[in-house]
Structure 1
């Protein structure tokens, strides 16, 4: 087990971008909406499958993990530390990167997808409102609002999000067919790290 590294700021990462291996743990849809240049997309829910490649990348040089705001990348760094892999999270994620005046890469033809945190807020808020409105016609339906509220509290306390895990499985958050998927990403990552001395 390794102690997680302190998060990096945008100003710390920018000059080291060409030598660091950057892993974006957002969904493929979010990644396609814009990512740190050169970042490899390994969704948080697939991190376990990438451990051998990530271990090699960390042994060859600096490993930096990115998400939209820094929350998921912090979780990923904790998981990697549990596996003995040293990685740093980008403080503020791609939001801070673009907010700092740095460009985001966008694959040709990629469609914009909301960040996962925004998707969760939309669905949770909609379900709470639905529970309240349904309660007007069906007494007791407000239990739905209670359950969503309880789920959000649990999510905050455990730093996990079951709703995000479900939403990440929706088609617009998944990889487009024909891009090779995670195997192709891991192959490119292996090729890159093999060229690093």
Structure 2
């Protein structure tokens, strides 16, 4: 069942479940980190971390000639992936509204692995810890409180631009990386389904 390009770019969990029921639904590209993907993902989805997708989108385009639904935790990274693939010329893109959070809340099927903290939670921990420490130390050392101000400015920019430099840095940590996505293997598995 092809995706109607005239509709909005979002797709509800219920609509996606219906498309997947007959087995000929759209391809699902999960753009979260490998660690997040291993924790929980939609059965049949392909893990293509956002950085990998951006870097290898030309290679991926030749194997994504059908309907594609982009998935992340809440929809923000999937929207960034949608922009990158749209700029590269790929039609028939949709973003799962609410991402994996909405998918799980709808009681839709998932594959689960070892529990890990998602990237957004890690950003909140690191940013909050830096602000807390800077505030406490700032009582004794003048000027240290400005570190908290800088973190606040960074988070404000992240919200306004829908990007997160701290999240991108944290995604590089071994905890989040897991096995590196091998583009050749990914392309081969996309080709097999064609």
Interval of TM-score (by shorter of Structure 1 and Structure 2) = 0.7 to 0.9
Is residue 2:97 matched to residue 1:91? yes
Task: Confirm or deny: 8 A CA contact 1:26 1:44 kept in the other structure.
Answer: yes
SS of residue matched to 2:57: helix
Task: Confirm or deny: 8 A CA contact 1:42 1:50 kept in the other structure.
Answer: no
Unaligned runs of 5+ in 2: none
Structure 2: how far apart are the matches of 1:26 and 1:184?
Answer: 18
Structure 2: how far apart are the matches of 1:101 and 1:71?
Answer: 21
Equivalent of residue 171 in structure 2, options 168, 172, 175: 168
**Aligned residue in 1 for 2:83:** 78
Measure how far apart 1:5 and its partner are.
Answer: 5.3
**Aligned residue in 2 for 1:66:** 71
**Aligned residue in 1 for 2:36:** 30
Gap change, CA 1:40 and 1:5, over 3 Å in 2 = farther
Task: Confirm or deny: 8 A CA contact 2:34 2:49 kept in the other structure.
Answer: yes
Give the TM-score normalised by the residue count of structure 2. 0.88
Give the TM-score normalised by the residue count of structure 1. 0.87
Structure 2: how far apart are the matches of 1:129 and 1:102?
Answer: 38
Moved over 2 A (4+): 2-5, 180-187
Gap change, CA 1:36 and 1:188, over 3 Å in 2 = same
Superposition pairs of residues 147-166 of structure 1, within 5 angstroms: 147-166=150-169
**Aligned residue in 2 for 1:141:** 144
Is residue 2:130 matched to residue 1:131? no
Q: How many equivalent pairs are there?
A: 186
Unaligned runs of 5+ in 1: none
**Aligned residue in 1 for 2:109:** 103
Structure 1: how far apart are the matches of 2:121 and 2:155?
Answer: 14
Is residue 2:56 matched to residue 1:56? no
Which protein is richer in strand relative to its size? 2
